[in-house]
Structure 1
Amino acid sequence: MFRPMLDPGAPAGAPLRFTFDGVVMTARAGDTVAAALLANGVAVNRETPVSGAPRGAYCMMGVCFECLVVIDGVGNRQGCLVPLEDGMRIETQHGARQAEFREGIEA
Structure 2
Amino acid sequence: MTGSSAGQFIRLGETQRAPVEIHIDGESISCLAGDTLLTAMLLNGRRLRHSEFGDGPRAGFCNMGACQDCWLLLSSGERVRACTTEVRDGMDVVTREAR
Same fold (TM over 0.5): yes
State the partner residue of 2:20.
16
Q: What RMSD over aligned residues (CA atoms) do the two structures have, in Å?
A: 2.0
How much does 1:60 deviate? 1.4
Secondary structure, counterpart of 1:18 in structure 2: strand
The runs of 5 or more residues in structure 1 that have no matched partner are 95-107
- What is the number of residues matched between the two proteins? 90
How much does 1:74 deviate? 2.6
Larger radius of gyration, structure 1 or 2?
A: 1
How much does 1:75 deviate? 4.9
Does 2:89 match 1:86? yes
Residues in 2 aligned to 1:6 and 1:92: alpha-carbon distance in whole angstroms: 28
How much does 1:3 deviate? 1.5
Residues in 1 aligned to 2:30 and 2:39: alpha-carbon distance in whole angstroms: 11
Higher RCO (C-alpha 8 Å, min separation 6):
2
Secondary structure, counterpart of 2:95 in structure 1: strand
Residues in 1 aligned to 2:48 and 2:67: alpha-carbon distance in whole angstroms: 14
State the partner residue of 2:58.
55
Residues in 1 aligned to 2:35 and 2:82: alpha-carbon distance in whole angstroms: 10
The runs of 5 or more residues in structure 2 that have no matched partner are 1-7
Within a 5 Å distance, the mapping from 1:63-74 to structure 2 comes to 63-74=66-77
Any runs of at least 4 consecutive aligned residues in structure 1 with deviations exceeding 6 A, and if so which? none
How much does 1:73 deviate? 2.7
